A and B are shown apart, each in its own frame.
Chain A
Amino acid sequence: MLKILLPVDGSDASNQAIKDFIQLLSCYKEMPEIHLLNVQLPLHGNVSSFIDSESIAQYHQDEGMERLTAARQFMDQAGISHQFHIIVGEPADVIVAFAKEKLFDRIVIGPRGVSAIKGLLLGSVTNKVVQFSTIPVLLVK
């Protein structure tokens, strides 16, 4: 069975990409195994010297669940079974490493909702994933 990783950040663009991908799913002969992944940026600076790591993990988990809500709803509505994951780290690095480690066959990702100029300056997560992934990436536009 094809194993597909869908990184999700909860933005409108990301949710749209999920919706579009659900449309595409009927093209697959056999239903692929779908995993949603939300990557939480680590908190910087002083926070970790005052707050215990368990509370921080809890915070990331709550935030991650919130970001995943819409995508999970779309999946449920379409009757697609899926798993989901929340990991803390640099988004692009984590997506690429996770896909490799868990032996995914494909990463499906939408372009983030930034304008061309901002995207150029900041280097979007999508660009980095496309550049560094050793696994085929499907860009849903």
Chain B
Amino acid sequence: MGIDSTEFWIAVLQIIAIDIVLGGDNAVVIALACRRLPKEQRNRVIFWGVFGAIAIRITLIFFALSLLAMPYLKIVGAVLLLWIGVKLLQPEPEGQGHEIAASTSLIAAIKTIIIADAVMSLDNVIAIAGAAKDSMGLVVFGLVVSVPIIVWGSKLVLRLMERFPLVIIVGAGLLGWIAGGMTVTDVITREWVNDNASYLRWVMPVCMAVTVVSIGKWMAARARIKPAAMIDLADNANK
């Protein structure tokens, strides 16, 4: 894949979009985990949180590339990406939601960030590796792009999604698209697809993208906020 090919530039755009959507998510979690800490502590924890997110990505990507060359693992990766895409479309649960202890202490905030960094880096790395189609240059590019997004991204990404709600749907669809591509380029499927059904190379991405968006949207619609459940967050401040 050379610099002059369209394929290359499409991959570049895909990687940037993935980094914005998944890296931004990571940045938001780091920022929110530290909100209740005293200001000095907060900045230090954010710094180490961001540092950790980037370090884990760099470590994972080297494993990812060699792992994805093994049979079946691209298919496993594709299934993971489908799940990540669907999850991306889910809004935060109402009230009862998850019971997670509020991180008011330094240790709790650090713990939250480490776990979030590990999980979300894995998401991001699988997606980058899938989009990069075995090109080492593109993988490194994906990592480099994700750094500023994680460092400065949280506000930016939130504003972007507020202004253009479509971003998140496009992001989820893109993850499905990449997953579709991975299913037909796995070591065990690649040759068969090339010989017998080369049309699958674009049919699968399209189908998977549509699948992710429709399942994600359907699940989100079911969890939609009911008018009766509207909670006025300014209730106490009003009186």
Contact = CB atoms under 8 A, between A and B. Distances in A.
B39 interface: no
Nearest to A93: B225
Contacts of A80: none
B100 A41 contact: no
Nearest to B168: A44
Contacts of B97: 48, 53
B164 A122 contact: yes
B230 A87 contact: yes
- The SS class assigned to the A binding surface is helix
Interface in B58-95: 87-93, 95
A41 B160 CA distance: 12
A141 interface: no
User: Chain A, interface size: which category?
Assistant: 35 or more
A86 interface: yes
Contact of B234 (A44, A61, A94, A122): A61
Contacts of B107: none
A54 interface: yes
Interface of A: 38, 40-61, 64-65, 68, 83-90, 93-94, 97-98, 100-101, 122
Interface of B: 21, 25-26, 28-29, 32-33, 35-36, 87-93, 95, 97-103, 112, 115-116, 119-120, 123, 158, 161-162, 164-166, 168, 224-225, 227-228, 230-235, 237-238
Given A44-B25, A87-B230, 7 more contacts: A46-B116, A47-B29, A51-B100, A55-B33, A57-B231, A61-B233, A89-B225
